[in-house]
Amino acid sequence: METDSYPGKIDYFCHIQLTGVAQLVEHRSPKPSVGRSSRSSRASRMIAAFFLCALSRRGAAACGEFAGVVLCLPFPNGFCRFIIFFAQKTGMKADLFIPCFIDQLYPDTAVNVVRILKRAGVEVHYNPEQTCCGQPAFNSGFTNEASKLAYKFVDDFRDASAIVTPSASCAAYIRQYYARLLKDDPNRLQSFEMFKPGIFELSDFLVNILKVTSFEAEFPHRVTYHDSCSALRHYGIRDEPRLLLGHVNGLELVEMKDMEICCGFGGTFSAKFTHISTAMTAQKVENAIASGAEFIVSSEASCLMNMESYIRKQQLPIKTIHLADVIGCFKD
């Protein structure tokens, strides 16, 4: 699906092939180019199409009328760093972080995230210089490379008050491991500790921070939800995605058997232990089909990519779709 056609397509907001990746003909996942600058791919799709301006986050306190969420991060000297998420008349301000898999393979999902946040009244800031958070390198044992990407992430988001990403895996990794990677750079470590409480996965941000659960979306299909390991066990979300799906018109949510079991991706696990990974994926997909669902929904693009590659190879009667692509099924 060509993203360049979006501005001229009237019905782009709810296309059931949003998560289709034609090049996945084998049950293996291609590794995205995570080290290069993302200006060409991200800026053309996000900024040119949706005119995401570089809005200043420093002017929030100048507004006289606001409601907000206040987080306090304690420091050894006894003082607290207060981070205020201002919900003004024009909406809350948030920086958007798009993970590698979504940027490289599912750009439509990134577009829907922007639409959803805007629909919720959020003023979105997008930095086209952002790249990978470093999780693939870190999980493969390349700590030095992961540290360099952590440094860049801090530089890219240093002034952010809220950072929203459609990936609990990336959000959990940043929250849990960046302090270790930044320990040799006190200045960056301090900057990270200041904005760390403001890093959110999309459904968590919508439900628990914005208190928004309905977008008047319409998706007349039977779906089942897949809890990714990172979202469920590392980030700690379970009910939030289901609450959002429950407010989609025409959608029927059914739970599959063993819904909390891994899909078999596990990053490099699927490449190093292909047979085990494939068996796990087969079990997950079979359970989803047995539920009678037409779609497997998840908040993790890597899980969807893994299951979709198996589904396509086996030509099975079920599709995969990201949570953002479902709740983004509304007319602008």
Pair 264, 131 in one domain = no
Closest CA to 47 of 105, 121, 129, 119: 129
Segment 185-189 shows an average pLDDT of 96
Pair 109, 220 in one domain = no
Segment 218-231 shows an average pLDDT of 90
Pair 96, 172 in one domain = yes
Give 88's DSSP letter. B
The CA distance from 243 to 39, in Å, is: 35
**CATH number of the structural domain spanning residue 185:** 1.20.1050
Pair 142, 275 in one domain = no
Pair 192, 301 in one domain = no
Task: Return the pLDDT at 44.
Answer: 41
Domain encompassing residue 254: 18-25+213-327
Pair 198, 171 in one domain = yes
3-state secondary structure of 166: coil
Task: Return the pLDDT at 271.
Answer: 61
Does residue 164 sit within a domain? yes
The CA distance from 29 to 31, in Å, is: 6
Percentage of the chain modeled with pLDDT above 70: 69
Task: Return the pLDDT at 268.
Answer: 62
The continuous run of DSSP H or E covering 308 comes out as helix 301-314
Pair 198, 293 in one domain = no
Does residue 129 sit within a domain? yes
Segment 251-277 shows an average pLDDT of 75
Segment 114-135 shows an average pLDDT of 95
Q: Would you say residue 60 has pLDDT above 50?
A: no
Among 178, 209, 240, residue at a domain's last position = 209
Pair 204, 241 in one domain = no
Sign of the CA dihedral running 102, 106, 109, 111: positive
Q: Would you say residue 279 has pLDDT above 90?
A: no
Percent composition of the chain: helix, strand, coil (DSSP 3-state, to 5)? 45, 15, 40
Segment 246-275 shows an average pLDDT of 79
Segment 167-174 shows an average pLDDT of 92
The continuous run of DSSP H or E covering 119 comes out as helix 107-119
- Of the two residues 331 and 325, the one the predictor is more confident about is 325
Segment 301-326 shows an average pLDDT of 92
Does residue 8 sit within a domain? no
Q: Would you say residue 8 has pLDDT above 80?
A: no
Averaged confidence pLDDT in the chain:
76
The CA distance from 138 to 41, in Å, is: 24
Q: Identify the top-confidence range among 21-35, 37-51, 84-98, 192-206.
A: 192-206
Pair 55, 184 in one domain = yes
The CA distance from 268 to 274, in Å, is: 9
Count of structural domains, the chain? 2
Full-model pTM: 0.73
The CA distance from 56 to 314, in Å, is: 49
Does residue 82 sit within a domain? yes
Pair 142, 127 in one domain = yes
Give the contacts of 180 (CB within 8 A, at least 6 positions apart).
none
